[in-house]
Amino acid sequence: MGVTCVAQVPVAEGKSVQQTVELLTRKLELLGAEKQGTFCVDCETYHTAASTISSQGQTGKLMYVMHNSEYPLSCFGLFENGPCLIADANFDILMVKLKGFFQNAKANKIESRGTRYQYCDFLVKVGTVTMGPSARGISVEVEYCPCVVANDCWNLLMEFMQSFMGNHTPGIPSVFGTKHDSTYSPGDTMVQYMELFNKIRKQQQVPVAGIR
């Protein structure tokens, strides 16, 4: 996969989540981007069961299991500041077998769903981030497909993002810092989504009046 930047776009003043998403997608369509289906990235949280903690003497840890519609046969396992495992879809079945040791915090399941746009060599995904029934924010994923070395194309990515995100263009993602010249991988995109989802979870819920 090409170098990807995942960012959060704040909801526009006086507008709902849906309206802000429409503003962004309209800007993309005016630029000439073509709709190319939909996407979904989801994240489930597991915590170490109390029984394992007491016998191992370790503190409870949070493990995230994520899926990305761009890689339908894969499953990603992540720990915050820890390794990101890329596995095939059977990893979900293994988590069911590990029920006694890792509990699924079902209420914490968070996902981003939206439309996929292609603009020349860029792939842009604008998604509504939802937790349960409520929309909590907006995610924008921009991928520059031809390049696999993060630091080589950051400037280009930033310039492209400014053309439709304006002031909401993010700074360089923290995963890029550790990459140096190594190849960008889908695991890096999932780490960015995990950080975004964690940030959104901590944020105040969008006031009900804004969700229409």
Give which of 145, 154, 147 is closest to 177, Cα–Cα: 154
Q: Is 91 in the site for another protein (CB under 8 A)?
A: yes
Spatial contact of 188 and 76, defined as CB atoms under 8 Å apart? no
Contacts of 117 (CB under 8 A, 6+ apart): 25, 28, 29, 33, 34, 35, 36, 123, 124, 125, 126
Residues 38-67 within binding reach of another protein (CB under 8 A): 48-49, 51-52, 54-56, 58, 61, 63
Instruction: Quote the DSSP letter at residue 133.
Output: T
Q: Is 83 in the site for another protein (CB under 8 A)?
A: yes
Which residue number, 53 or 158, has a Cβ lying nearer to another protein?
53
* Dist. CA 108–CA 92, nearest whole Å: 17
Q: Pick from 34, 36, 37, 79: which binds another protein (CB under 8 A)?
A: 79
* Dist. CA 77–CA 30, nearest whole Å: 37
Which residue number, 23 or 85, has a Cβ lying nearer to another protein?
85
Q: Is 30 in the site for another protein (CB under 8 A)?
A: no
With tokens 């993602």, the residue in question is 173
Q: Is 105 in the site for another protein (CB under 8 A)?
A: no
Q: Is 152 in the site for another protein (CB under 8 A)?
A: no
Report, in Å, the least distance between residue 80 CB and another protein. 10
Number of amino acids touching another protein (CB under 8 A): 32
Report the interface residues with another protein, using CB under 8 A: 48-49, 51-52, 54-56, 58, 61, 63, 77, 79, 82-94, 96-98, 100-102, 187
